[in-house]
Amino acid sequence: MPEPTLMEKLVSLCKRRGFIYQGSEIYGGLNGTWDYGPMGTELLRNIRNAWWHDNVTTREDIVGLDAAILMHRSVWQASGHESNFTDPLVDCKCCKARFRADQLAESQCPRKPSKHPGEHHECQLTEARKFNLMFKTFVGPVEEDAQMVYLRPETAQGIFVNFKNVCDSTRIKLPFGIAQIGKAFRNEITPKQFVFRSREFEQMEIEFFCHPDTSVQWYQRWRDARFQWYKDLGIKSDNLRLREHGQEELSHYSRGTSDVEYLFPWGWGELEGIGYRGDYDLTQHMKCSGKDLSYFDDETKQRFVPHVIEPSAGATRSLLAFLCEAYTEDQAPDEKGKLETRTVLRLHPRLAPVKAAIFPLVKKDGMPEKAMELYRQLQKHMAVFYDEKGAVGRRYRRQDEAGTPYCITIDGQTNTDQTVTIRDRDSMKQERVAMEKVLGYLLERLVR
């Protein structure tokens, strides 16, 4: 049997350890949908929290929003999504499979996977046609066109349509941003590479509104800040790049777009786009809604339509990048001192689903009670896990695989000097720490 690839190992670990499962799995799965298990839910929440903390809570110039997923159809007509949010699609009349016309060279013929669609003698590909990626549904009991709405394909438009509401209901002044995290839905023709391209996923977007004269500086600042964010959360420089779009890739209104890209096992893929959108979106919504979305600057007495910088990140896609980056195998001694392969998720402590695991060395001599007492104390401050089953070495390995940065063991010595061992996931080094100092020890290391 060939050695499984990194992606195969990661997908298997995600299922085994409760990070990610196929959506609707017991009914055969629903392609392009994924369910996040107990570990994945915590990891995703930690990514969202880190993003929100770093981009909203700790800044004075960004406020949050949580807009509805179902939005008026006119929103998507104004934004251009109804007419332009399409991918070119080809069908094979023989095997009934569908492919993106611009990705035939990367796709496999279902009849003969070593060939691309169109290369097998039975392939009968249709001409390419435009396929709109928005999911439709109906509001109310009657399924007719007038009641049709789209599930949002991006969170951004919820921000633009609330620009005036936010200006009127807060005292925030330009330049400022509105941030939103939420689900987005795209009927991708070929969802692929695990959660990388899904039909339901999560975005973390900011629309940063500024005076047109300052927009280029803001674009550059956001581009650099967003690139640094991934590095700060543990992505190595070699696996991360900032790719500035060429003139030919830019929309007509854009003065610049950069993508933060990660080197996935199959190649470079976009994690986030930082786009300079000018006044395009607000102007479109002004035209289509008839509402005035211009901004009046009290100091300069100027009225203008703000320009927008849009850092638009994928939460679920960055989760995959963080997992790929964290996945490591090394050699570590087993219970008898023999070297064995150890799987470790070297997740940044801010992202780790569980921050510390607490073990009694054995289930006697008051150790479980002491361990439980410590567990209850730490639980008030962070996500911790209690485990008393099996050999302690096995318990360490399980936590290594889940990315838990610290394992704390209550042993025979604890009863005599009130100290515990704290084991570091990455170095596997252990140190003795007084029980009363454990909380401080963890808090100091987890926020770095």
* Cα-Cα-Cα-Cα dihedral sign, residues 249, 251, 255, 258: negative
Q: Identify the residue among 82, 91, 270, 365 touching ligand GAP (CB under 6 A).
A: 270
Q: Identify the residue among 42, 87, 154, 279 touching ligand GAP (CB under 6 A).
A: 154
Q: Which residue has the tokens 């629903």?
A: 30
Residue 156 or 167: the one with the smaller Cβ distance to ligand GAP is 156
298, 187 contact by CB (below 8 A): no
- The C-alpha angle with vertex 43 and arms to 37 and 46, in degrees rounded to 5, equals 140
Residue 200 or 411: the one with the smaller Cβ distance to ligand GAP is 200
Q: Identify the residue among 100, 164, 186, 223 touching ligand GAP (CB under 6 A).
A: 186
| Strands 267-278, 240-244: pairing kind | unpaired
Task: Select from 104-112, 240-248, 306-314, 385-393 the region that touches ligand GAP (CB under 6 A).
Answer: 306-314
Task: Select from 162-170, 296-304, 310-318, 439-447 the region that touches ligand GAP (CB under 6 A).
Answer: 310-318
- The C-alpha angle with vertex 107 and arms to 105 and 112, in degrees rounded to 5, equals 110
In 3D, which of 400, 418, 279, 424 has the Cα closest to residue 387? Answer: 400
The secondary structure of 93-141 as a DSSP string is TTT--EEEGGGGGG---SS-TTS-TT-STT--BPPPEEEE---EEESSS
Q: How far is the CB of 134 from ligand GAP (least distance, A)?
A: 12
Using CB under 6 A as the binding rule, whether residue 203 contacts ligand GAP is answered as: yes
The SS3 assignment for 256 reads coil
Task: Select from 228-236, 305-313, 329-337, 364-372 the region that touches ligand GAP (CB under 6 A).
Answer: 305-313
Task: Select from 58-66, 244-252, 265-273, 424-432 the region that touches ligand GAP (CB under 6 A).
Answer: 265-273
Q: How far is the CB of 277 from ligand GAP (least distance, A)?
A: 9
3-state DSSP: the chain helix, strand, coil percent, rounded to 5?
35, 30, 35
Residues 312-351 that bind ligand GAP (CB under 6 A): 312-314, 316-317
Look up residue 164 and give its two tokens.
């005036």
Using CB under 6 A as the binding rule, whether residue 230 contacts ligand GAP is answered as: no
Look up residue 245 and give its two tokens.
């779009």
Q: How far is the CB of 258 from ligand GAP (least distance, A)?
A: 11
Residue 209 or 385: the one with the smaller Cβ distance to ligand GAP is 209
CA distances from 325 to 5, 52, 209, 406, 447 (A): 15, 22, 33, 19, 19
- The C-alpha angle with vertex 355 and arms to 48 and 24, in degrees rounded to 5, equals 55
Q: How far is the CB of 287 from ligand GAP (least distance, A)?
A: 19
Residue 84 or 331: the one with the smaller Cβ distance to ligand GAP is 84
Residue 199 or 397: the one with the smaller Cβ distance to ligand GAP is 199
Residue 111 or 192: the one with the smaller Cβ distance to ligand GAP is 192
Task: Say how far apart CA 283 and CA 287 lie, in whole Å.
Answer: 6
**Number of other CB atoms surrounding residue 138 within 10 Å:** 13
Q: Identify the residue among 40, 273, 311, 405 touching ligand GAP (CB under 6 A).
A: 273
Residue 179 or 410: the one with the smaller Cβ distance to ligand GAP is 179
Task: Say how far apart CA 268 and CA 273 lie, in whole Å.
Answer: 14
Using CB under 6 A as the binding rule, whether residue 42 contacts ligand GAP is answered as: no
Q: Identify the residue among 261, 272, 281, 400 touching ligand GAP (CB under 6 A).
A: 272
Look up residue 184 and give its two tokens.
């987005």
Using CB under 6 A as the binding rule, whether residue 361 contacts ligand GAP is answered as: no
DSSP H or E stretch at residue 423: strand 419-424
In 3D, which of 130, 128, 143, 138 has the Cα closest to residue 83? Answer: 130
In 3D, which of 293, 258, 261, 260 has the Cα closest to residue 276? Answer: 258
Residue 264 or 375: the one with the smaller Cβ distance to ligand GAP is 264
Residue 276 or 385: the one with the smaller Cβ distance to ligand GAP is 276
Residues 156-185 that bind ligand GAP (CB under 6 A): 156
Residue 201 or 229: the one with the smaller Cβ distance to ligand GAP is 201
- Position closest to ligand GAP via CB: 314
Q: Which residues bind ligand GAP (CB under 6 A)?
A: 154, 156, 186, 188, 197-198, 201, 203, 205, 270-273, 310, 312-314, 316-317
